[in-house]
Structure 1
Amino acid sequence: MSLFDPAQDESLCQILYGDSSAQLRPFVDQVDLILTSPPYADARKRHYASIRPQDYADWFIRFHPVFWQALKAHGSFILNLKGKIVDGVRHRYVWHTIERLTQLGWHCIDDYIWHKKTSMPGFWPTRLRDGWEYLFHLAKTQRPYVNHEAVKRPIAASSWNRIQRIQPHEYAPHLSETGSGFRRAMRAWIGKTHVLPDNVLHVSPEARNKGHPAVYPVALPRFFIRLLTKPGDLVVDPFAGSGTTGIAALQLQRRCLLIDNHYPYCVLAAQRIRAETGVHASGEYLSAPVPARARLTLESQAAIKRTAHAAGP
C-alpha cells in the first residue's frame, strides 16, 4: 500500500471542528510539530473572537496544558504572531505572550522573521509599513529534533568564487579586519557546497483568495515541516483556518491533524486539501447533510460571538 493512497487510508489527515483546548486533549504525547497562526489581537473580528491586546496572553496560555501534553519530548511548536498598533504605538502583546509561555516551561529556541516581500502599501504618520511577522520556535527541551540538512541551500555563485580564491595562509583563524574583535576561520568554508539559511524567511504573502481572511503561503509551513519533522510524523495546526499547514504536511509525506472552531473553515480546509493533494480528510462533521452543516455553521458563529462578548469590548 502506498504511504499516501487516499483510497485506502483516511488517517493521513483528520479535521476536527471545535475548540483545540478540548479536541487536542486525547492526543497525549503523539504530536511531532505544532505549527499555527492563531487569531491576532483585535483582528479577524468577523471570523473569530476578537481578543484585546492586553488580554491576549491570558487568552492564549489557556491552550498551554493541552499543547504541552500533546507534544512529544523532542517535538517543536512554531507560533506565528503579528504585532498590533494601539493609539499609534506598537503594543507588546506578542512578547508578553512569549514571556508567559517561557514562564510555563517552554524554551524559546529561536525567533524567526517572515519577510513579506510584497506587503501592502500605505501611509502612517509616525511609522513605515509592516513588512514582516514573528515566528517563534518553542520546545519542551533545549535540544528538540532539528534536521539542518533538509533546509540547506547551495552556496551562491558569488560566494563560491570567493571561496575558490582562498589562499593557504588564510586557513588559520584570524581577527576580522574591521576591528570588531570577531575571528574568522576561512577553513570552515573549504569543501562546502551548501550552507544553512538564516532565520529571516523571504516569502511573499498569499495573493489568491482562499476563502479565509488570513491565509499564509504554503512555503512558510513547508520550511518548518522539513526542518523539524521526519516523513510520517504528525503535524498539528490547532487554529487551522483554510488548511494551509495540512497541505504543506501532506505534500511532504507527513500526517496532519487540523482543528478549527469555525465550522465553514473545516469544510473549506477539507475541500482545499482534496483539490491540492488528492487526500480525503476524515472528520466526524465533514460528511454531514446540508441541514446539519447549516446548523453547525450557525452554532459556530454563535460560539464565536459568546467568546468575543466574554473577552470584553
Structure 2
Amino acid sequence: MTARKQPPPVHKRLTSGRLCYTTTHGAQLCGNSLELLAQLPANSVDLFVTSPPFPLLRKKAYGNEDQEDYVEWLGQFAKLAHDALKPTGSLVIDIGGAYQKQRPVRSLHQYRALIAFVDRFEYELAEEFYWYNSSKLPSPTEWVNKRKIRAKDAVNTVWWLSKTDEPKADVTKVRVPYSESMRKLLENPTRYYTPKDRPSEHKIGKGFGTDNGGALPSNLLVMPNSHSNDAYHRMFKKLGMTGHPARFPVSLPKFFIEMLTDPGDLVVDFFAGSNTTGRAAEDLGRKWLSFELDIKYSALSAIRFMNGMTQPEAEEAITRIEKGTPLKISATDQSGGLW
C-alpha cells in the first residue's frame, strides 16, 4: 500500500507575506494579516490567540486605530478568522480599555467589537475573561495621577469566542494551586468540613474533599506583566535595543492554549508583535503561525527562540531576517523554557 502523502506545512501554502523564521513547530511571517488570513484553508485552525492594537488616544510606534473606526477595522480580521476556524475551534482576543478623547469617560470599543463579532460574524461568546495586570502603571495620567478622579486601569477584557456552542475545551488542564484553607481541608476533611446545603441551595457534598491536583480556575486571570530581567529582555539590553512595546505575558496565551487545544493542534496569532503566542505554543507542542506587519518586530521576535546566543550572533540573525533570508531555528537552539 502506498503511504499517503502528507500535505505541506500551512505556511508553505501561503503565497502572501515573507517567511522570517521557522522552528520545530511553527513559522513567523511578515505581511498583511488580512491577506494571510484570507489564504488559510477553511476549517484548518484550532485556536486563534491575539491582542490587536488598542484604539488609544495617542498614536503608538506599533500602530493603533482610531476609536470611531476600530470595530469596522477589527471586524475584517474576525470575519476571516471565522472562515478559517474548525467547528471545534476558538478565537481568544485580548482587548484593553481606553478613555474618550479629553474626557474622563470610557470608550465602549471592546464591547461594541464583541457585539459585532456575535451579531455580524456568527461567533458565540463562550465566556468572558478579565486579565488583571497587577504591575500595570497608573493610567491615564490626567485622570489618575494628576486630578485623581479615576482608579488605575488594570484589567483587560479577554473574549473567548467560538464557532459553535461546544468548542474543544478542558478546564482541568489549567487547574490552579489550592488555597491554604483548601489544603488544610484536604489533609483532614472530617475535621474541617461537614457536607451541607448552602443558603443559596447549592449542595456541597463529600466530593469537595477530594484532591484533584488543583482548583478549577476562575475567569479572573491574575498575571503580572513585569518580566524585565528574563533571557528575552537581557538580550535586548545587550543589543541596546527595545522590543515590541505592547507585550502580554506568556502565561496568558499559555493558559488558553492548554485549555483549548491538544498537542499537534494549530494555533495562530495574526497580531504577533513579539510573538509571545508562538513561544507558548512551541513549548506546549502545538503547531503555530504568527503574522506581523512590521519586519523589525518580526525579526526581533526570533530572539524568543534562541538559547545561549551571543550578541554578535543575535545581531547577525536579526540582520539576515530583515534583509530577507529566513532563519531555521533547530530544536537544540530553543531554550525549552518560557521566555
How many angstroms apart in 2 are the aligned matches of 1:253 and 1:63?
A: 26
Aligned to 2:133: 116
Asked if the contact 1:175/1:183 (under 8 Å) is kept, the reply is yes
Alpha-carbon deviation of 1:129? Answer: 0.6
Residues 42 and 271 (structure 1), Cα distance of their counterparts in 2 relative to 1, 3 Å cut: same
2:118 to 95, 99, 102: 102
Alpha-carbon deviation of 1:161? Answer: 2.4
Alpha-carbon deviation of 1:159? Answer: 1.5
Aligned to 2:166: 143
Asked if the contact 1:206/1:215 (under 8 Å) is kept, the reply is no
Secondary structure at the aligned position of 1:205 is classed as: coil
Alpha-carbon deviation of 1:288? Answer: 5.4
Aligned to 1:263: 295
Secondary structure at the aligned position of 1:109 is classed as: strand
Alpha-carbon deviation of 1:182? Answer: 3.7
Aligned to 1:155: 178
How many angstroms apart in 2 are the aligned matches of 1:231 and 1:276?
A: 27
Deviates most, 238-247 or 190-199: 190-199
Aligned to 1:280: none
Query: What is the RMSD of the two structures over their aligned residues, measured on CA atoms?
Result: 2.7
Secondary structure at the aligned position of 1:195 is classed as: coil
User: Normalised by the size of structure 2, how large is the TM-score?
Assistant: 0.73
User: Normalised by the size of structure 1, how large is the TM-score?
Assistant: 0.78
How many angstroms apart in 2 are the aligned matches of 1:205 and 1:195?
A: 23
Secondary structure at the aligned position of 1:97 is classed as: helix
Asked if the contact 1:266/1:286 (under 8 Å) is kept, the reply is no
How many angstroms apart in 2 are the aligned matches of 1:113 and 1:146?
A: 18
Aligned to 1:296: none
How many angstroms apart in 1 are the aligned matches of 2:150 and 2:321?
A: 48
Aligned to 2:108: 92
2:79 to 65, 76, 80: 65
Aligned to 2:211: 192
Aligned to 2:150: 127
How many angstroms apart in 2 are the aligned matches of 1:76 and 1:286?
A: 35
Q: State the structure with bigger RCO (CA 8 A, min sep 6), 1 or 2.
A: 1
Number of aligned residues: 272
1:171-250 aligned at under 5 Å gives the runs 171=195, 174-176=197-199, 181-193=200-212, 194-208=214-228, 211-250=243-282
For structure 1, list consecutive stretches of 5 or more residues without a partner in the other structure. 1-8, 278-284, 294-313
Alpha-carbon deviation of 1:126? Answer: 1.9
Deviates most, 209-218 or 153-162: 153-162
Asked if the contact 1:80/1:134 (under 8 Å) is kept, the reply is yes
Aligned to 1:15: 28
Letter in 1 for 2:137: M
Letter in 2 for 1:112: F
Asked if the contact 1:78/1:135 (under 8 Å) is kept, the reply is yes
Secondary structure at the aligned position of 1:24 is classed as: helix
